[in-house]
């Protein structure tokens, strides 16, 4: 049943994308129905209609073919198609005895007009078509005017107009709902952008007030201290104490202001120096002590630029934390840091249960680093958790309530230096995180906020 329904869904999408093919198929089906109906003789009131009791005339077949062929253009020229099919129906009722069901084409054409025009037009055109076809059938038909065949013509043409009008009304209703939803979405986005702009302006004013006031005070007191240092050292000490108090107050106010930009629940930024590959052994020992065997291959011991060194350390930290939390029991990890020309390649491998078991929803991560996943940031052993830059240990599959940026943080760190990051399942099981970092970070761009201890990364 599922295969059948999916097949119907694909066919429906294809026909929607090819309306002319759909109309051609409809015309062919209508022609087949009209020809089958032309072999059926109306009942005499004592029994059902008999199929094969009569044979249509060649002229009736020609009229049915022309009526069906006109339906191919029903979307492009609905009024003209209705006029042609209506005229063919009238000719059939006037000239042929008994008439063939050429009126089927008129019914479909009237439905098309009603579904693609406004209601007043539908009423006028529908009434005119219904009266013309029904009156011709009653006046020139072989059956009495009150026969069920004549009233069937009236019913079917009226039903076609009503059905087309209902379809048009529903389509207009759905379009109106969609338009309101899109307008509401645009309004929400504009409101969000406005609020962000207002908040940025407020924070900029706060930063300006803090910096301008306290730095001016520090400048004045430092000038006083320099002026009286030799002759009045006591007054110089007092001025330097004011400098110390002003700088401390400025730092506290800046910490509060900048803290507004951090997400709720983000940890405080640490004050120790930013770590790097020089302390990679300590980081690996924390994971080994936690029960995760880790093998390290670091072919290059040369000192790397601070930003590259920190980014490599954070990628290893986040990747190993993910292995520890999600790879399962009896898992091993391998870390390699290799210098290749003007780049450093950092690779973290594990032999865990695979991406399906431990990282729901993950896929290979390309240059954008997201892979369609919502990552999260966690604090990792031997390091700190970062906000916004995603420095905390990343977990690729995220619960809806998490607010971190683990995988995005790795991607931002690497791409900020002009590198590339890929992450995805390994063939045969396990996971692989591979980062390529240029040894010389890009310059000439503004400095990005850094990590531990206020370390900045220059792009």
Residue 386 confidence (pLDDT): 30
pLDDT digit string, tens, across residues 402-425: 333 456 667 777 888 889 999 888
Phi, psi values for residue 109, rounded to 5°: -65, -40
Residue 434 confidence (pLDDT): 92
Nearest to 310 by CA among 432, 444, 431, 435: 435
Residue 346 confidence (pLDDT): 93
Residue 438 contacts residue 417 (beta carbons within 8 Å):
yes
Residue 375 confidence (pLDDT): 36
Residue 301 confidence (pLDDT): 65
- Tokens representing residue 253 in the block: 């106010």
pLDDT digit string, tens, across residues 168-216: 999 899 999 999 999 998 898 888 888 888 877 777 766 766 666 567 6
The pLDDT confidence band at residue 264, using thresholds 50, 70 and 90, is low
Residue 404 confidence (pLDDT): 38
pLDDT digit string, tens, across residues 220-237: 778 878 888 888 888 888
CA distances from 29 to 65, 102, 105, 108 (A): 11, 13, 11, 12
Beta strands 376-378 and 50-51: pairing type?
Answer: unpaired
Positive or negative torsion for Cα 34, 35, 41, 43? negative
Burial of 239 (0-12, 13-18, 19+ CB in 10 A): buried
Residue 345 confidence (pLDDT): 92
The pLDDT confidence band at residue 313, using thresholds 50, 70 and 90, is confident
More confident residue, 102 or 405: 102
Q: Which residues contact 237 (CB under 8 A, 6 or more apart)?
A: none
Residue 263 confidence (pLDDT): 52
How many Cβ atoms are within 10 Å of 284's Cβ, its own excluded?
21
Does pTM top 0.75 for this prediction?
Answer: no
- Tokens representing residue 260 in the block: 């507004």
How many Cβ atoms are within 10 Å of 435's Cβ, its own excluded?
28
103 has pLDDT over 60:
yes
Residue 393 contacts residue 379 (beta carbons within 8 Å):
yes
458 has pLDDT over 50:
no
Residue 323 confidence (pLDDT): 81
More confident residue, 183 or 381: 183
- Token match 């607010």: residue? 403
Beta bridge partners of 435: 346, 421
1 has pLDDT over 90:
no
The rounded distance, in Å, linking the Cα atoms of 348 and 435 is: 9
Choice among 80-89, 224-233, 235-244, 449-458 with the minimum mean pLDDT = 449-458
Q: What is the mean pLDDT of residues 290-318?
A: 83
Residue 457 confidence (pLDDT): 33
DSSP letters spanning 8-20 = HHHHHHHHHH-HH
Long-range contacts from 181-187, C-beta under 8 angstroms, 24+ separation: none
Beta strands 294-298 and 333-340: pairing type?
Answer: parallel
Q: What is the mean pLDDT of residues 382-394?
A: 34
Query: Which range has highest mean pLDDT (12-16, 265-269, 271-275, 415-419)?
Result: 415-419
Q: What is the mean pLDDT of residues 251-274?
A: 63
More confident residue, 105 or 402: 105
- Token match 């952008």: residue? 193
Exposed e or buried b for every residue in 199-226, given b needs 16+ CB within 10 A?
eeeeeeebeeebeeebeebbeebeebbe
Q: Which residues contact 51 (CB under 8 A, 6 or more apart)?
A: 36, 39, 40
Task: Give the 3-state secondary structure of 267-327.
Answer: CCCCCCCCCCHHHHHHHHHHHHHCCCCEEEEECCCCCCCHHHHHHHHHHHHHHHHHHHHHC
The pLDDT confidence band at residue 435, using thresholds 50, 70 and 90, is very high
Phi, psi values for residue 40, rounded to 5°: -100, 125
Residue 216 confidence (pLDDT): 67
More confident residue, 355 or 169: 169
């Amino acid at each position: 049943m599922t295969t059948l329904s999916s097949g119907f869904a694909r066919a429906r999408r294809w026909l929607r994308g090819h309306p002319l093919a759909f109309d051609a198929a409809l015309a062919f089906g209508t022609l087949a129905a009209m020809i089958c109906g032309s072999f059926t003789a109306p009942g005499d009131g004592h029994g059902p209609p008999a199929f094969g009791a009569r044979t249509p005339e060649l002229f009736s077949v020609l009229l049915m073919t022309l009526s069906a062929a006109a339906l191919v253009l029903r979307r492009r020229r609905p009024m003209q198609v209705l006029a042609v099919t209506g005229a063919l129906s009238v000719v059939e009722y006037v000239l042929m005895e008994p008439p063939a069901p050429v009126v089927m084409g008129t019914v479909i054409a009237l439905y098309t007009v009603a579904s693609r025009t406004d209601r007043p037009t539908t009423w006028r055109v529908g009434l005119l078509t219904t009266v013309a076809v029904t009156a011709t059938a009653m006046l020139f038909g072989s059956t009495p005017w009150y026969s069920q065949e004549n009233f069937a013509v009236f019913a079917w043409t009226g039903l076609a107009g009503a059905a087309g009008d209902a379809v048009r009304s529903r389509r207009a209703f759905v379009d109106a709902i969609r338009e309101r939803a899109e307008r509401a979405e645009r309004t929400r986005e504009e409101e969000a952008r406005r609020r962000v702009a207002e908040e940025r302006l407020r924070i900029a004013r706060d930063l300006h007030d803090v910096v301008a006031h306290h730095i001016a005070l520090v400048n004045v007191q430092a000038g006083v201290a320099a002026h009286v240092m030799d002759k009045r050292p006591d007054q110089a000490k007092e001025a330097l104490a004011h400098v110390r108090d002003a700088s401390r107050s400025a730092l506290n106010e800046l910490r509060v202001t900048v803290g507004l930009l951090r997400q709720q629940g983000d940890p405080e930024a640490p004050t120790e120096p930013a770590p790097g590959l020089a302390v990679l052994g300590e980081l690996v020992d924390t994971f080994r002590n936690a029960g995760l065997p880790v093998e390290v291959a670091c072919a290059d011991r040369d000192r790397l630029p601070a930003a590259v060194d920190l980014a490599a350390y954070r990628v290893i930290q986040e990747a190993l934390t993910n292995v520890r939390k999600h790879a399962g029991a009896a898992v091993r990890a391998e870390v390699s840091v290799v210098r290749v020309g003007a780049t450093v390649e950092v690779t973290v491998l594990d032999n865990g249960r695979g991406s399906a078991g431990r990282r729901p929803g993950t896929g290979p991560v390309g240059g954008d680093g997201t892979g369609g996943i919502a990552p999260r940031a966690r604090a990792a052993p031997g390091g700190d958790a970062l906000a916004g830059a995603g420095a905390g240990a990343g977990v690729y599959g995220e619960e809806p309530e998490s607010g971190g940026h683990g995988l995005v943080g790795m991607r931002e760190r690497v791409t900020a230096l002009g590198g590339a990051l890929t992450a995805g399942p390994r063939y045969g099981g396990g996971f692989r995180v591979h980062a390529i970092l240029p040894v010389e970070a890009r310059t000439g761009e503004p400095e990005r906020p850094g990590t531990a201890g206020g370390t900045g990364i220059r792009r």
